[in-house]
Amino acid sequence: MGLPMIAIVGRPNVGKSTLFNRLIGKRYAITSKVAGTTRDRIFHEAMMGSFTTILVDTGGLEFGKNFKNLEENVQEQARIGLSEADLLFFLIDATEPLTKSDLDAAQLLRKANKPIILIAHKVDNKLSKNHMDELVRLGLGEPLQLSSIHDIGVDELIRVTAARLKTEGFSPKKVKHGPETRIAIVGRPNVGKSSIINGIIGEERLIVSDIQGTTIDATDTAMKVEDKEYVLIDTAGLRKRSKRGFGLEGLGGLRSLRAISRCDVACLVVDWTSGLTSQDLHVSQYILEAGKGMIIIVNKVDQMESPEADRKQFLRELQYKMNYVPWAPVLFTSALEKKNLNKILELSGKIQEERSKKISDAAFTTFIKTTTVGHPPTRKGKAIRIMGGKQTDTCPPSFTILCNKPELLHFSYKRYLENELRRHFGFEGTSIEILVSERAPKKNAPKKLHVSKRVIKRRGR
């Protein structure tokens, strides 16, 4: 089971994108008073209490119109988001009476047979009793009163959502897989992902075609090699939202993101014949945001005219455009000639071992002392002291450092600590998560921590 997916649905201009931005903590979805601003579905990770979720902003649901071209696609995308979600936030504009579109949307959601949280949105003052009774008659339970702009009721929504996810069987803790290493094969359409999996397993199990978008769903293939277990996950090609098609291809992109969320190692397949594209960089960001291990697979090397020179040139391009992941190993493969495909499993297994590595508290304390003494952090002339820390989790390796002024610790110093961690302890092929906490001022004071969380996954600056 991957991360739970929550879709925000409702008729146009009820504040779906505003709520989306509030819950993820930044302005990500475009908001406007013009109905229908959200065209494609937008998704982003969001914390609901102790649950990590994928939050989906959808276009407004409309009924009884003759849609053409873009408008028809918007409606199809909204319904796809509804069908794929594990939980629905159904928004009603509390400043207006119920409309026919609200009633039609409620009927559609009931047929979807999904858990629903009804939200009376844009509530700056208490609703009248009559209006509340009107919403209750929708048959979707007691509505939550909420205003995203004024941050009214948002904490209650998060609490109710966490409770509902627990009821639905999701765990707030990290999903701990069995002994197998789960490997997602991801990348742009038509770079040879299915051919690579077929070459590894030694049979034509997945459909291979030159037509873009042949793979729609994420397909799992279990296998065992020398007493080690693996699960290969083939995924649909990921494109930018502006380029990604609607309908089935849009559905495949959403499932690809879920596949990344439930894998251990993501193999980013790039096509040597087309070079490193901006969309390859976008896919790498998806992998980094999910905190997974990463292998960069350069496929179709059988078409190189000067293999040695071409490889050096491609590596230089990788080092320049993807210098934010210097720890990701690179494999040059040919799915057609089955060249180096066997190394994918071996390397993925080693990366999973690195992701599971645990550094003792004593070793990490020694590391912090020696590292910060030689290069102490400073900013704006103010003293910043790092008092210690420890490793707090694995998969990905996560570390918490105690600092007197965490808000002043620059991201470049965290990157320095990450580089030193890798130099001393390895962690090849996996992202590292560093958190900074402020130590309680007094020994017996209540534990009150200011936490600033930042995953070290920025491009070089």
For 37-63, write each residue's pLDDT tens digit: 333 446 777 889 989 888 888 766 654
What beta strand segments (E) does 310-416 contain?
Answer: 330-332, 378-379, 382-383, 386-393, 398-403
What does the alpha-carbon distance between residue 80 and residue 261 come to, in Å, rounded to a whole number?
19
> Taking the chain, what is the end-to-end CA distance rounded to the nearest angstrom?
37
33, 26 contact by CB (below 8 A)? no
**Domain 5-167 CATH class label:** alpha beta
Beta-bridge partners for 322:
none
Q: Residue 232 half-sphere exposure, CB side, CA atoms within 13 Å?
A: 23
For 54-123, the DSSP string reads: EEEE-PPP--S----THHHHHHHHHHHHHHH-SEEEEEEETTS---HHHHHHHHHHHHHT--EEEEEES-
Report the pLDDT value the prediction gives residue 238, as an integer from 0 to 100: 47
Report the pLDDT value the prediction gives residue 62, as an integer from 0 to 100: 53
What does the alpha-carbon distance between residue 11 and residue 99 come to, in Å, rounded to a whole number?
9
Hey, where are the domains in the chain? 5-167, 181-354, 361-455
Report the pLDDT value the prediction gives residue 181, as an integer from 0 to 100: 93
What does the alpha-carbon distance between residue 267 and residue 189 come to, in Å, rounded to a whole number?
14
Quick: pLDDT tens for 249-296. Answer: 343 456 567 778 889 999 999 999 988 988 888 888 888 888 899 999
Q: Which two tokens stand for residue 31?
A: 């908001």
181-354 has the same fold as 5-167 = yes
- CATH architecture of residue range(s) 181-354: 3-Layer(aba) Sandwich (3.40)
Fold of 361-455: GMP Synthetase; Chain A, domain 3 (3.30.300)
Report the pLDDT value the prediction gives residue 64, as an integer from 0 to 100: 47
Q: Which two tokens stand for residue 36?
A: 């229908």
Report the pLDDT value the prediction gives residue 213, as an integer from 0 to 100: 38
Stretches where the chain sits below pLDDT 70 are 1-2, 27-42, 59-81, 125-132, 173-178, 203-219, 236-256, 439-461
Report the pLDDT value the prediction gives residue 10, as an integer from 0 to 100: 86
Cis peptide before 4 (omega within 30 of 0): no
What does the alpha-carbon distance between residue 246 and residue 74 come to, in Å, rounded to a whole number?
8
